Amino acid sequence: MLTAGVDVGSLAAKAAILDSEVAVVVGGACVPTGSDPAASGSRALQEALAEADVSGEEIAAVVATGYGREILPGAHWRVTEISCAARGAHLLDPQVRTVIDIGGQDSKAIRVDADGFPADFALNDRCAAGTGRFLEVMSEALGVGVDELDDLALEAERPAIITRTCTVFAESEVVGLTARGVAPAEIAAGLCRATAARVAQLAGTLGVEPRVMLIGGVALNRAIGRYLSEALSVELAVPDGPQFVVATGAALIAAERQLAS
Ligand code: ADP
């Protein structure tokens, strides 16, 4: 059976097509959410179908998740990101007991039970520190793309100390450090370490049980993974396509619910 999961996130809409018989993702797509989340989610789904080379009629069920899940047209069910993240991570690695998801505008730590269902979670959606948006603003202040920040950070011998976590003040701090001649690599490393520290604090409130999987778009930043692993004193598994894990979990839930109905 083929099913689809569409994760309409705050910054990016992701879709995954799952062949549930073999538990393999056969297509995926990611598009910026922009100002029309419903249209972006639909576009991500169309692009994922094209990548999988299947038509919409071949999809048995669609689950929508993410902050725009209520407005995605054509979804059979709407499920929280917490449940989808847990199911998606469990599909990729059944030994995972903690999922850390760093997205565009929030970060989450989720305890996952042995069957792949969420047992508990902690959420930061109040403050941009520890999210992708923070890193986007800071990369811009440094004059590099958000996808280049980790390469730059990993060149640093030691990270600069970033004392402010509020985005507005941290941006002024980056400008001030640059003006004092601190190397961009050290500032980039400092920003990645500060972000990781913030997420580690959140995960610490929940308790981090191994195995730990890091997902979400920010998991593509290898420096964050390294600093977070150091801060939590635990190994982090980062799957290929970490930004698609929630959409994959949504597609799995679509298959499970379709079979049960
Ligand atoms: P959401 O679901 O909230 O839209 P995502 O999980 O898609 O968020 O993550 C979006 C964030 O991922 C962006 O804000 C950006 O910081 C980060 N990101 C996306 N692509 C990359 C990349 N290639 N390298 C580093 N970070 C990235």
Alpha-carbon gap, residue 127 to 100, rounded angstroms: 17
Q: How many domains does the chain have?
A: 2
| The pLDDT of residue 161 | 94
Same domain, 142 and 186: yes
Atom of ligand 1 nearest to the CA of 14: 7
Do residues 144 and 203 share a domain?
yes
Q: How does 121-143 read in b/e, with b if 16+ C-beta sit within 10 Å?
A: bbebeeebbbbbbbbbbbbebbe
Q: Are residues 113 and 67 in the same domain?
A: no
Give the pLDDT score at 164: 86
Tens of pLDDT, residue by residue over 33-47, are 999 999 999 999 999
22 and 64 share a domain? yes
CA angle 137, 240, 4 (to 5 degrees): 95
Strands 107-112 and 98-102: antiparallel
At 193-222, the pLDDT tens digits run 999 999 999 999 999 999 999 999 999 999
Which residues does ligand 1 sit against, CB inside 6 Å?
Answer: 9-12, 66, 103-105, 132-133, 135-136, 146-147, 216-218, 220-221, 243
% residues pLDDT > 90 (the chain): 94
- Both 186 and 119 in a single domain? yes
CB contact at 8 A, 40 and 8: yes
The range of the structural domain enclosing residue 129 comes to: 96-238
Mark whether 81 and 149 lie in a shared domain. no
Phi, psi of 28 (to 5 degrees): -155, 155
Q: Residue 129 has what pLDDT?
A: 86
| Distance from residue 132's CA to the centre of ligand 1 (Å) | 6
CA of 104 to the centre of ligand 1 (A): 6
Q: Name the maximum alpha-carbon separation found in the chain.
A: 64
Claim to verify: residue 68 and residue 123 sit in the same structural domain: no
Q: What is the CATH number of the domain that holds 78?
A: 3.30.420.40
Clarify whether residues 252 and 214 are in a common domain: no
CA dihedral 145, 150, 156, 157 (to 10 degrees): 170
CA angle (125, 126, 131) in 5-degree steps: 55
Task: Report the nearest-CA residue for atom 16 of ligand 1.
Answer: 132
Q: What confidence tens digit (pLDDT) does each residue in 52-92 have? A: 999 999 999 999 999 999 999 999 999 999 999 999 999 99
Is residue 7 located within the same domain as residue 48? yes
Q: Is the same domain home to 79 and 29?
A: yes
The closest alpha carbon to 120, from 44, 208, 60, 198, belongs to 208
Residues 253 and 125 occupy one common structural domain: no
Q: Mutate which of 105, 148, 191, 218 to test ligand 1's pocket (most atoms within 8 Å of Cβ)? A: 218
Of 85, 23, 14, nearest to 47 by C-alpha is 14
146/229 same-domain check: yes
Model pLDDT for residues 144-192, shown as the tens digit of each residue: 999 999 999 999 999 999 988 888 888 999 999 999 999 999 999 999 9
Protein residue closest via CA to atom 19 of ligand 1: 217
Q: Which of 27-31, 71-75, 77-81, 129-133 shows the lowest mean pLDDT across its residues?
A: 129-133
Å from CA of 194 to ligand 1 middle: 17
Nearest-atom number in ligand 1 for the CA of 105 is 3
CA dist., res. 123 & res. 109, Å (int): 7
Buried b (16+ CB within 10 A) or exposed e, 152-169: bbeebeebbebeebebee
How confident is the model over 104-118, as pLDDT tens digits? 999 999 999 999 999
